[in-house]
Amino acid sequence: MIDADDLIALVQNYNPKSNSELIRRAYDYGSRMHEGQTRHSGEPYFSHPVAVAAILTEQSLDDATIVTALLHDTIEDTRSTYAEIESEFGTEIAELVDGVTKLTNLQLSSVETKQAENFRKLFMAMSKDLRVILVKLADRLHNMRTIRAMKPDKQAQKARETMDIYAPLAGRMGMHSMREELEDLAFRVLNPEARNSIIRRFITLQRETGDVIQKITADIERELDKAGIKAQVFGRAKKPHSMWRKMEEKKIGFSRLSDIYGFRIIVEKDADCYAALGAVHQRWRAVPGRFKDYISQPKSNGYRSIHTTVSGRDAKRVEIQIRTREMHEVAEAGVAAHWSYRDGVPAENPFAVDPARWIASLSERFDTEDDHDEFLEHVKMEMYADQVFCFTPKGEVVKLPRGATPLDFAYAIHTRIGDSCVGAKVDGIRVPLWTRLKNGQSVDIMTAEGQRPQATWIDIVATGRAKAAIRRSLREEDRERFIKLGRELARVAFEHVGKSPSDKALKTAAKQIGIESATELLAQIGSAELTARQVIETLYPGLTQKAGEEIDAARAVVGLNPGQTFRRAACCQPVPGERIVGISYPGKGVMIHSIDCEALVEVEDEPDRWVDLHWQEGRHPAVHNVSLDLTIANDSGVLGRICTLIGEQGANISDLVFIDRKPDFYRLIVDVELRDIEHLHTAMLALEADSDVASLARHRDLERKP
């Protein structure tokens, strides 16, 4: 716990004219009131208010807010009273402490009806003095940082409340750094396995690629220097929760996650922002649809910045934000910039806005509202600024992304409503279907029997659900014709490579491409959404692969010390392209394991034996043995055909052992020599497509450890 002198020093760093005597008196008073009280961790309770005050000094806040932080739990948890604090520290601070106390007493994670009423009270309190919520957010941030000392059920409740209410509120008020940390701390409680998985994968990525942030920062600085632009460049990796949210929203794995790095360019003048943007776009290719100019069109909380995403070093997607120093202060502090100090005087930042106007107008708008649920929806509507909340004629709320149209609204209700839509009324007025909806509007969809979606609708709608439904409806109209045409195109393509378009082959190709069935695959081929050649390349890429210069198998691994030898672990049989780690064995050299090998558990407490390795980039020879567990039909010629199929993929069978023989099937382990992980996938895919292969899996044997 920092002492009074250290806290005063933190304040005087940005406000040399601060009232140090007032802060010291508040420190001593709070320490005296909380004397004898302890936290769940066993620490003195007063360490918490002091930590909250220290968090608020990072926002360069005024003395009254710092003092309120020191006293914010006195009325709630000690013998202190409002009258006593008013007498000791004045009316302004007493009202702030009382406001924080009232917010603390609100059970915001309770049932929905009560939650609506508590939200009303929360915004009413905030409208009187917004510094109340600044203290409350800092209070919640420190509680989340120290949440490990609480009981598991209490941790989960606080984390959900933080994720649902406090983190979005911090974001809505422009305090993005605080929002990100609150989300990540809650994520650590609510889904620790997912968070740890993201962190492990990111560490592995760093191990493989080196310090990408430093390299890209240097690249950007070099381009800005060439253009004669004075700027500071900062880089960072996105928070685990931010990565996880993107993976969930886009339904992709970590390996396909783009722009996990973010960079900020801080320049001196507004004009330099656009000059820096020009320098960045001249050097790197911009990613379409990822440019936003919040300088010419600022957000309602004062946020100004240019956002762009480019394909940077090694084709990695990189998000870049460009802003001036004053814009950056508002972007980091949000509403707190309204009360921040610089060199002893209130900072006059032309971009800082007073969000109290927004909160006051919100409270006034619903001051006499009787429908608490409707009030809650309006509150959420204001907090989640990137979404649009509209109403059906019956008052039901429909949540849509910003930019959505009445057609999106119709499909959000039901696909049948969307398909038969012929018009829409917004707030009782007939509007075109391409009208962009706004928060709070009431939408009435008009339908007609026999109406079918039009091809032009795809360009009108904004949601993936609507686009998919329209495409599906358009396909179904000519579905039978497309299926027939697709089957003929597939037959010709398969015969061209000496294969047959069996149902099993088509099902395997559909699964690999991500299409629901073989019939749908044929329909997409017939409608030209997919080519028959793509299907052939998916199933049999080995038939068209070209030979190139191969890497020496004895030098396939990078990261060994001179004289060190290596062997592939028999338990996991890693192949080039897989993430690997080396484990040193006395007298045996280094044994290479795949990063997910279960055998690594036995040496996880011996970090000195771990060797950071990766495969050489390039074409490897087909000498890496991998065991495949196959179940095939016991029929004439099947085994020979399977062996031929493996050979066609450029792979060699080094051993074959029968595990089980039955009248109708064989189960066997086949050792195949392969180049890399792509070669393995190619061989397995070709085998899966064969109608006589009942099951196929990679065989790993932990009994065959070093």
Could you give the residue numbers annotated as active site? 76-77
Give 401-455 as a DSSP string: ETT--HHHHHHHH-HHHHHTEEEEEETTEEE-TTPPP-TT-BEEEEE-TT----G
Cα angle for residues 300, 305, 308 (degrees, 5° grid)? 125
| Cα–Cα distance, 468 to 686 (Å, whole number) | 30
DSSP bridge partners of 137: none
Tell me which DSSP letter residue 71 carries. Answer: H
Tell me which DSSP letter residue 555 carries. Answer: G
Q: Which of 297, 395, 398, 300 is nearest to 356 (CA)?
A: 300
Cα angle for residues 639, 645, 649 (degrees, 5° grid)? 150
| Cα–Cα distance, 354 to 127 (Å, whole number) | 11
483 is written with which tokens? Answer: 């299926």
| Cα–Cα distance, 701 to 497 (Å, whole number) | 36
Give 133-193 as a DSSP string: HHHHHHHHHHHHHTGGGS-HHHHHHHHHHIIIIIHHHHHHTT-HHHHHHHHHHHHHHH-HH
- Which phi and psi (to 5°) does residue 661 adopt? -125, 125
Q: Is 543 exposed, middle or buried (0-12, 13-18, 19+ CB in 10 A)?
A: middle
| Cα–Cα distance, 343 to 340 (Å, whole number) | 10
| Cα–Cα distance, 214 to 221 (Å, whole number) | 11
Residue 194: how many CB atoms within 10 A of its CB?
A: 17
428: left (phi over 0), alpha (psi -120 to 50) or beta: left
Residue 354: how many CB atoms within 10 A of its CB?
A: 13
| Cα–Cα distance, 253 to 244 (Å, whole number) | 9
